[in-house]
Amino acid sequence: MDAKTCLQKLKYVGVLAFATVDEYGNPQIRNISAVHYEPEAMYFFTAKGKAFCRELINDGRVQVLGYTKYKEMIRLSACAVPVCDEEQPKYIDMIFDEQPYLYNLYPDNTRMLGGMVFKITDAQIEYFDLGVNPIFRETYTIGKKRTVFKGYNIANSCIGCGKCADNCPQHCIEKGAPYKIQQNHCLHCGICFELCPVKAIENVGSK
Ligand code: SF4
Ligand code: SF4
C-alpha cells in the first residue's frame, strides 16, 4: 500500500466525507463527490456561497474519509487551498466533465460564477484495513506533509509481566525488554494502556 494507491481507492469509493472546523470551533461534515484525482493530489469543487467554502478559506484544515467495501478506512488530513484564479476554469471544467451530473446543478456558465476549486497537495494519509487478521494500518504522506505518530508505545520502565500481550485483541505485542507493539497491527484500543501495572505504556497523539 502507498499514498497513490490510497488516492486511487478513494476515487473508487466516489463519495467521501469532508470534515472542516467552523468559525465557532465546531466540527462540520458533508459528503462530496465533485473530486478530481491526480497521482499525488486531490482537487474538489464547491460553491462559493456554502459554509464549506468559507470554512476552507478561513481555516483550511480538512479531513477526508472514505471506507471501501473491503473494510478499508482511508483518512486524509490536510490543509486545502484554493486553486489560483487563472487555473479555476480548467479545474472546474475537468471536474464537471468527470462528474457530468454537476451540469444539472450548475448549468450553462453558472459553474464559473458560483464555483470554486480547492486543492490538496500536502497531506497525511492513514490507511486502516479491518478486513484482515491481524488488522493492518500504515501512514503515508504526499507533498511536504510529515508523518505524525499516533498510537501506543512501551517505555523502558516495562517490567515484562506480559499482561499487555496476554490481553491484546490483535496479538500484536512482542516479548522483549521492553515489550514492543507492532504498530502496523495495533487497533489503538488502549487495553494494554489500561492494564499495565507500572504505567509503562504511553498514548501518543489523538485517536
Ligand atoms: S503490561 Fe506493562 S509491564 Fe507488563 S509487559 Fe506490558 S508494558 Fe511491560
Ligand atoms: S492498543 Fe490494543 S491492539 Fe494496540 S497493542 Fe494495545 S491492546 Fe494491542
Q: Where, residue-wise, is CATH 2.30.110.10 in the chain?
A: 3-142
Q: What is the per-residue pLDDT for 27? A: 96
Give the atom of ligand 1 at the shortest distance from the alpha carbon of 199: 2
Asked whether residue 170 carries a pLDDT value surpassing 60, the answer given is: yes
- Amino acid identity of residue 52, one-letter, is F
List C-alpha distances in Å: 33 to 45, 49, 149, 168: 9, 18, 29, 38
How many whole angstroms from 198 Cα to the centroid of ligand 2? 16
Residue 143 has pLDDT above 70, yes or no: yes
Query: Where does the pLDDT of residue 149 fall: very low under 50, low under 70, confident under 90, or very high at 90 and above?
Result: confident
101 touches 59 (CB < 8 A): no
What single-letter DSSP state applies at residue 58? H
The CATH label, of 3.90.1150.10, 3.30.56.10, 2.40.160.40, 2.30.110.10, for the domain at 3-142 is: 2.30.110.10
Q: Are 134 and 174 in contact (CB under 8 A)?
A: no
Computed on alpha carbons and rounded to an integer, the radius of gyration of the chain in Å comes to: 21
pLDDT at 147: 84
- Distance (angstroms) between ligand 2 centre and the Cα of 105 equals 47
User: Does the structure show a pLDDT above 80 at 193?
Assistant: yes
Q: Which three cell numbers stand for residue 195?
A: 492494564
Average pLDDT over residues 4-9: 97
Residue ranges, CATH 3.30.70.20, the chain: 151-204
What span, in angstroms and rounded, lies between the C-alpha atoms of 72 and 182? 19
Q: Domain 151-204: which topology?
A: Alpha-Beta Plaits (3.30.70)
Q: CA–CA separation, 185 vs 172, rounded Å? A: 6
Nearest ligand to the CA atom of 157: 1
Kindly tell me if the per-residue pLDDT of 146 is higher than 90.
no
Question: What are the pLDDT digits (tens) for 24-83?
Answer: 999 999 999 999 999 999 999 999 999 999 999 999 999 999 999 999 999 999 999 999
Does the pLDDT at position 206 exceed 60? Answer: no
User: Which residues does ligand 2 sit against, CB inside 6 Å?
Assistant: 152, 168-170, 172-173, 181, 186-192
Q: Which of 168, 49, 74 is nearest to 128 (CA)?
A: 74
**Single-letter code of the amino acid located at 42:** M
Q: Whats the size of the chain, residue-wise?
A: 207
pLDDT digits (tens, 9 = 90+) for 88-135: 999 999 999 999 999 999 999 999 999 999 999 999 999 999 999 999
Question: What separation in Å is there between the alpha carbon of 182 and the centre of ligand 1?
Answer: 14
Kindly give the number of the ligand 2 atom that is closest to the alpha carbon of 182.
5
Pocket of ligand 1 (CB under 6 A): 154, 158-164, 178-179, 195-196, 198, 200-201
